[in-house]
Amino acid sequence: MNIYNCWLQERIVKNTAGLPLEKVYAEKGGLIAKQAVEEYRRGVKRLTGITPAVLPVKAGNNSKIAPGVFLGTYKGFEKIFQITTNSFADSSADNFTDSSAVSSAEGGFYIKNKDGNLLIAGYDDCGLLYGVFRFLMQLALDRDGPFPDIQEEPASPLRIINHWDSITGLVGRGYAGRSLFFENNRFDYNKERITDYARLLASVGINRISISNVNVNNAEKLFITKQYLGELAKIAAIFRPFGIKLILSVSFAAPMSVGKLPTADPFNPSVITWWKEQTDLVYSYIPDLAGFIVKADSEGEPGPFQYNRTQADGANVLARALVPHNGTVFWRCFVYNCQQDWRDHSQDRARAAYDHFMPLDGSFDDNVILQIKFGPYDFQVREPVAPLFGALKKTRHIMELQITQEYTGHQIDLCYLPWIWQDIIKFDTAYGPDSRIMDLVCGNKDTSKLEGFASVVNTGRDRNWTGHTLAQANLFGYGRIIWNPALNAEEIARQWSDLSFGPGPAADTVTDLLLRSYPAFEKYNAPFGICFMVTPGLHYGPNIEGYEFDRWGTYHRADAHAIGIDRTPSGTDYTDQYAPQNAAVFADPARCPENVILFFHRLRYDFIMKNGQTLLQNIYDTHFEGYDEVEAMLEKWKSLKSSLKEEVYKPVLARFERQLKNAREWRDQVNTYFWRKTGIPDKRGRMIYD
Amino acid sequence: MNIYNCWLQERIVKNTAGLPLEKVYAEKGGLIAKQAVEEYRRGVKRLTGITPAVLPVKAGNNSKIAPGVFLGTYKGFEKIFQITTNSFADSSADNFTDSSAVSSAEGGFYIKNKDGNLLIAGYDDCGLLYGVFRFLMQLALDRDGPFPDIQEEPASPLRIINHWDSITGLVGRGYAGRSLFFENNRFDYNKERITDYARLLASVGINRISISNVNVNNAEKLFITKQYLGELAKIAAIFRPFGIKLILSVSFAAPMSVGKLPTADPFNPSVITWWKEQTDLVYSYIPDLAGFIVKADSEGEPGPFQYNRTQADGANVLARALVPHNGTVFWRCFVYNCQQDWRDHSQDRARAAYDHFMPLDGSFDDNVILQIKFGPYDFQVREPVAPLFGALKKTRHIMELQITQEYTGHQIDLCYLPWIWQDIIKFDTAYGPDSRIMDLVCGNKDTSKLEGFASVVNTGRDRNWTGHTLAQANLFGYGRIIWNPALNAEEIARQWSDLSFGPGPAADTVTDLLLRSYPAFEKYNAPFGICFMVTPGLHYGPNIEGYEFDRWGTYHRADAHAIGIDRTPSGTDYTDQYAPQNAAVFADPARCPENVILFFHRLRYDFIMKNGQTLLQNIYDTHFEGYDEVEAMLEKWKSLKSSLKEEVYKPVLARFERQLKNAREWRDQVNTYFWRKTGIPDKRGRMIYD
């Protein structure tokens, strides 16, 4: 494994399934189609050593020039290769497919291996590009037997990466070095590396990217001005051939900070005009910009509330400026009172997103998309899925995840995130029969459904991109699972390990480590969905009462007898924000899933859990187990010493050692905290410090 | 009051006691004597409007040129005024004094008002300067009746101000704006302001100053090189006429970081030579430099431990380089394990300074002075006095205090520090009959006694120097109390208020506020000497368990039944570091002073205190009272609205309002914490939040 190459390793595969890889007939296409052919060429060279010859094709019946590899779009195939879309579905005809349907979604593709020919056809140019990457992935997996037919289309139209990079070079919640794009208050990047980055992202289907923080500070405010738009256009040009469009982080107060207007009131005519003109300027530089992302009225960022306008009023003023350019506003729903008084039990931060946005359902313009965090808090190790999903009926929206390990170990601790994402994706919102998150993910324009995902990314200037080499699996897994929410975490782990290490015992071990990592992390973290026992600000390591008397609204209120917030109808009634069936389950401690039971309930330490043990004993048990599991993971990693290159083995070893220290702090601080609080010892007599 | 002028206000006094202020005969003296005459001239103008004429005097009998004001030294008086030192003490002779003794210490002076003449005589030039300032202070206090005779000499030979300023402009633990000396990585100051600063300091007797942080970072390491010595010499030149000598903060690892040697081992001949040569260079720029201050083996700073050398070995290598220049090493004793494991009950940070330094008593060279924090921790609101005082017999040492309000409210909260300093100074170490700290303070060379004080200062670029205008009283009070440890806090508060506001009802109110402030702060802070319930890092506001699981060695280990560390012989035996009589008192909960009882003992919440109430009830009571007292202070300040200028009134009002918020957080977080822990309600039914 070369740590820089991630899942696109250079490696000669054993099984090329007799495919005629060296002779390629490619439809003459646009920028993205050309990139697809280039990726085919590079990829086949990387995996077989063969440098394919790309041969010209002309209009007319070319089907007899086989055997060869045919790269194109459905329409191109009709025109050039005389293969109709219909014939894809016709199993009796002499054609390349026997499937009953072809993909008809943007980015969809078909790979067919028949009669010694290989056909990779995209619904559009992007589809071709994804088809090529999917083909290369399959080749790299190096499975035995004939090459399979593959038909795919992305479940999510929007597959977004958000960077929280600053022009200073600092990466917000970044644990993999400085920014890939900025340094020292200017654009500063290696073009080749950004191209490699675009390739990595496109290879797992990413199609949108924002490169700067949603907290729009200082110079970043000027990104929408001539001073920086030229630079941004250059970045857009690097991502463009890979089917990835730029999204720009803007400040709601830009009319004031940039435009020098006296207000940013969305109803003010000068503000409306200013946004229109400024947006026109932006699009004159980047005509295919996907739109703006806005963090408004959130953690100190300006927003419409200060003018007594709604979130919809705020979003719509931007949306209207974007309409002429087919641009979209991505409007984050992370709106909550971050100046809460811990004494006030009547407020409940968990309620905030729903309380703020549900009443506005239907008030947002067509080109506004709400970006909603998966849970009601903030990317905790375990939270319930936020109640807006399934509930919103008339507002376009996407789900925000976090690839960067802000609360899940800073890419020091191994924490394989598809494990939690699959749980989120399988969560049933209980609004109707097909109401799991994975069922709700669907194409554009059905405003009751989910148009995709955005995620804060885990990459930076570290040579291996992600700090922890195994954290590459999270970036890979994000692309994979939002492309196809039916994939499970195990399958993705297996794919990533095989692609990165090559199929074999090392990959098996790594797969096993990935799959054990999330449960272990969850065990040594805050117990049973209580959340926020983490070091304030930093968000690494335990601090049991760190948020307890602070302004962030995330309290556990542990006393001598009980812990947790009552969010049932007898408490803050947060449960009522869910569909009735879920509300009833969550509100009932006997039925509530135990991994979030302390999110919904205030329970006595002697509450009996499903395993017959008390809550307290379960806290002790999980924390001892979590530590032990990290210890076992460390030992397992050591078993790989002889099979891995030093640049892979040693830094990961060092991180496992740090993780073990971290797990020890979590175990001991949590256990000591509850032991001191209750005076009740561990039933099994293990060491709990005074 | 003009906030810039502090206690040197411009104000016409009522009573000049018929003194012949306008006619001055001054001995022709050196730089400092000249400054004394200038200060006389400026001060009299400031307080009377009169511009005195400074008349020349010649050798010979000048006593008949009276009435006039005579400024000189004892020796000069003998020569020029024909007044012998003996005659000072001879009550029957026709001379200026009837005291039985004259000051014979450096900086001592005599002020005599007789037969219409005023005589200000210093033992040396500095004494004359201090005499002039003392005279001006007395004049400004504007007391009725005849002008009193005053004879003083400083109790402490060393009266030191330490700045923790960085060349970046940031002030370590500074709450009054950016550095007076530095900005943007270079020396950057207003010469006039630094002159005013020197005047303020000299007016209360300060005679040594270090201007940069003991944490010697980056560029500050180069202060001992040609690159910066020219700049430092300019600063030294500003302070010199005011009798204030520079001390330089140096890094123990300078032979490596500056000298590029492979080691800083104090036994290495190259290191020894390097220090000698580098020190020679320093003194070629600043021949009267007082010496070096060093923070070694402390909180990450380098030191002799890494070469398996003792603290004495480390200090002595610097001392030997300083000997030819009569320079001194100020060697800080803040050496402790800052990587402690909270699980480890066997270590006790309180023991550290004594354990490290007591065994080395007698091993330090003559020109090494240990700088020892007043308490075993770190400037907490209440700590016992550190046991090294009185115990050290063969090592020169001074006591370190903190004027800057690191743990005492950041100059947001009013906290008048002479209140605690008088307690420290009156503490009896119980080593012999005259063994109070105030008895131990004495002149040079008695290594069992205290040669003075150093303190981290509270000044910065804010126009009023100290952020909180009333915090000027702390700078003033520091100078006053270390000059004369017999002064009590009330007297100093009265002086400062009268000088700053002019005698009258406003000054009475301010005096009252100052005197109430420390008891109030102590009440709403961490209870009964437990310490460190403060926000980690920042050190403002409560965080009850903030240090509980951290590496700093400052734990309270509160559980459901008890709180505190047992530091008696049954615990860490820290009490044994004190003289037997004190050890016995501290080790006995029935006799231990209650304001530090939780520093020495682990007590159950139902422990009965002297007032008959439980410890827990006392915690509740003090926290309710502390808040109420701040509320009353705020109201009292409001009563001054019409009598104060807005630049005085409003910023202090705003700070009182912030203090009230802070006191509320302390009250409620502390009370809630213990209520949750114990489930025992307040006997008086006041509001404690769940």
User: CB-CB: which of A542, A669, A690 is closest to B557?
Assistant: A690
Mean pLDDT, chain A, rounded, equals 94
B269: left (phi over 0), alpha (psi -120 to 50) or beta: alpha
Structure ipTM: 0.88
Whether residue A252 has pLDDT greater than 70: yes
Encoded amino acid at A648, one letter? V
Mean pLDDT along residues A604-623: 98
Report the pLDDT value the prediction gives residue B93, as an integer from 0 to 100. 40
pLDDT interval class at A97 (50, 70, 90)? very low
pLDDT tier at B655 (50, 70, 90 boundaries)? very high
B542 in contact with A at a CB cutoff of 8 Å? yes
Residue B62 has a pLDDT of: 58
Minimum distance, in Å, between the CA of residue B680 and any CA atom of chain A: 10
Q: DSSP readout, A231-248?
A: HHHHHHHHHGGGT-EEEE
List the beta strands (DSSP E) in B365-423. 368-373, 397-402
DSSP code per residue over A403-439: -S-TTTTTTTS---THHHHHHHHH-B--SSSS-BHHH
Strands A208-210 and A245-249: parallel
Please report, rounded to a whole number, the percentage of residues in chain A having pLDDT higher than 70.
95
Residues of B in contact with A677 (CB under 8 A): 559-560, 677
A345 contacts in chain B (CB < 8 Å): 690
Cβ within 8 Å, pair A559-B669: no
List residues of B with catalytic annotation: 299, 378, 406
Separation between Cα atoms, residue A511 and residue A507, nearest integer Å: 6
Q: In this model, does residue A91 exceed pLDDT 50?
A: no
Predicted local confidence at residue B439, as pLDDT: 95
pLDDT band at B354 (very low <50, low <70, confident <90, very high): very high
Average confidence (pLDDT) over A361-367: 97
- What is the distance between the alpha carbons of residues A393 and A91, in angstroms, rounded to a whole number? 40
Q: What is the band of B84 on the pLDDT scale with cuts at 50, 70, 90? A: low
Pairing between strand B182-183 and B158-162?
unpaired
Q: What's residue A93's pLDDT?
A: 40
Evaluate if residue B91 carries a pLDDT over 60.
no
What's the confidence (pLDDT) of residue A116? Answer: 79
Query: Helix, strand, coil: what percent of chain B each, to 5?
Result: 40, 10, 45
Looking at residue A102, its pLDDT comes to 63
Closest CA to B76 of B66, B97, B62, B65: B62
Report the mean per-residue pLDDT for chain B: 94
**pLDDT tens per residue across span B548-604:** 999 999 999 999 999 999 999 999 999 999 999 999 999 999 999 999 999 999 999
- Specify the pairing of strand A291-294 against strand A368-373: unpaired
pLDDT value at A571 more than 60: yes
The answer on pLDDT for A99 being more than 50 is no
pLDDT (tens digit, 9 = 90+) per residue, B399-446?
999 999 999 999 999 999 999 999 999 999 999 999 999 999 986 678
- Does B80 score more than 80 pLDDT? no
DSSP code at position A161:
E
- C-alpha B77/C-alpha B64 separation (Å) is 13
For the ranges A155-159, A581-585, B98-102, B175-179, which has the lowest average pLDDT?
B98-102
CA distance B516 to chain A (A): 28
Residue A391 has pLDDT above 80, yes or no: yes
Q: What is the mean pLDDT of residues A649-669?
A: 98
- Contacting residues of A for B690, CB less than 8 Å apart: 345, 557, 559
Q: Residues with Cβ < 8 Å from B690, sequence gap 6 or more?
A: A345, A557, A559, B672, B675, B676
pLDDT band at B280 (very low <50, low <70, confident <90, very high): very high
Residue A559 touches chain B, beta carbons under 8 Å: yes
Q: Which residues pair with B370 in a beta bridge?
A: B331, B397
Name chain B contacts of A542, Cβ cutoff 8 Å.
549
Q: Over pLDDT 90: what percentage of chain A? A: 89
Give the Cα separation of A397 and A362 in Å (integer): 12
Give the per-residue pLDDT at A75.
Answer: 83
Residue A604's beta-bridge partner residues? Answer: A562
Type of residue numbered A590: A
Of B557, B560, B665, the CB nearest to A679: B560
Q: What is the predicted pLDDT for the residue at B28?
A: 86
Whether the pLDDT of residue A94 is over 50: the answer is no
Please determine, for residue B242, whether its predicted confidence score (pLDDT) is greater than 50.
Answer: yes
pLDDT bin (cut points 50, 70, 90) of residue A84 is low
User: What's the CA gap between A220 and A163, in Å, rounded?
Assistant: 13
Query: What CA–CA distance (Å, rounded) separates A601 from A599?
Result: 6
Cβ-contact A114, A135 below 8 angstroms: no
How far apart are the C-alpha atoms of B24 and B42, rounded to whole Å? 13
Share of chain B above pLDDT 90, in %: 89
Phi, psi (5° rounding) for residue B55?
A: -100, 150
Burial tier of A560 (Cβ tally within 10 Å: 0-12, 13-18, 19+) = middle
Residue indicated by tokens 């126009």 = B463
pLDDT mean over B266-295: 98
Residues of B (311-350) whose Cβ lies below 8 Å from A: 342-343, 345
**A378 catalytic, yes or no?**
yes
pLDDT digits (tens, 9 = 90+) for A44-72: 999 999 999 998 776 665 556 668 899 99
The Cα-based distances of B315 to A596, B245, B284, B565 in angstroms read: 58, 21, 22, 33
* Higher per-residue pLDDT: B217 or A209: A209
Give the separation between CA A216 and CA A220, rounded to whole angstroms.
6
pLDDT of residue B89: 44
Q: Which of A533, A662, A676, A686 to mutate to test the interface with B (most CBs of B within 10 A)?
A: A676
Find tokens 């001539």 and name the residue.
A226
Residues with Cβ within 8 Å of residue A39, at least 6 apart in sequence: A129, A132, A133, A136, A199
B679 touches chain A (CB under 8 A): yes
CA dihedral defined by A278, A284, A286, A287, rounded to 10 degrees? 110
Largest CA distance in chain A: 84
Q: How confident is the model at residue B133 (pLDDT cuts 50, 70, 90)?
A: very high
The 10 Å Cβ neighbour count of residue B520 is 25
Query: What is the CB neighbour count within 10 angstroms for residue A192?
Result: 9
- B678: nearest CB among A549, A560, A678: A560
Annotated active-site residue in A378, A383, A439, A566: A378
pLDDT of B111: 92
Say which residue, A84 or A175, is predicted with more confidence.
A175
Average pLDDT over residues A16-26: 91
Q: Please check the confidence at residue B677 and state whether its pLDDT lies above 80.
A: yes
User: What is the per-residue pLDDT for B122?
Assistant: 94
Range with the lowest mean pLDDT among A168-182, A416-430, B91-105, B136-150? Answer: B91-105
Q: B561 and A665: CB-CB below 8 Å?
A: no
Q: Which parts of A511-602 are beta strand (E)?
A: 562-563
How much is the pLDDT for B480? 98
For the residues B271-280, what does the mean pLDDT come to?
98
